[in-house]
Amino acid sequence: MDEFVLARVVHVLGVVLWIGGVAMVTMVLLPILARMPSAAEAMVFFGQFRRRFAAQARFSTLIVGISGFYMVYVLDAWHRFLQWQYWWMHAMVLIWLLFSVMLFVMEPRSRNRQVTASSEQVISSEVFIAIQRKHRLLLILSLITIAGAIAGSHGWLFT
């Protein structure tokens, strides 16, 4: 199999795992947690889930970044970052950077702060609502980027 085709397959599978997971968390898990009677129990469950999901998301974003870089390198497509018709390539890199910073920098810091924070800290359902709003925004931006990448990579460019 051609290495480029393999890179594209790995890239798409990585995006499916990563953004599909974001969609499940945003549309299923967070609404359930926000409605749980005990915000403290919801936070404990969310912490356990987040650790497990973060590992999968880190792996997915890592293979997406490596395979994406490889495809741009093989195609020698660096010039596309200078053309507005390829806006979706910029969006892919920005979404990837945003999630990578969140997963590799912010999430571990947040987890460390929670471990050292007082167990008496008041946790409310508003925390889950705020998290859900952020996830919705990230999901919408990710889906727009995916749609643009599919259309653009199949020749639908704005000229």
> Residue 113's pLDDT is what?
67
Structure tokens at 37: 């009677």
In a domain, 55, yes or no: yes
Q: What range does the domain containing 76 cover? A: 3-113+123-153
88 close to 4: Cβ distance less than 8 angstroms: no
> Residue 129's pLDDT is what?
77
Domain count of the chain? 1
Predicted TM-score (pTM) of the model is 0.85
139 close to 19: Cβ distance less than 8 angstroms: yes
* Per-residue b or e along 79-99, where b marks 16 or more CB atoms closer than 10 Å to that residue's CB: ebeeeeebbbbebbbebbeeb
Residue 144 contacts by C-beta under 8 Å, 6 or more apart in sequence?
Answer: 91
In a domain, 59, yes or no: yes
In a domain, 158, yes or no: no
Structure tokens at 79: 């010039």
In a domain, 30, yes or no: yes
In a domain, 118, yes or no: no
**pLDDT bracket for residue 151 (50, 70, 90):** very high
Over residues 88-105, mean pLDDT: 95
* 144: pLDDT strictly greater than 90: yes
In a domain, 64, yes or no: yes
In a domain, 41, yes or no: yes
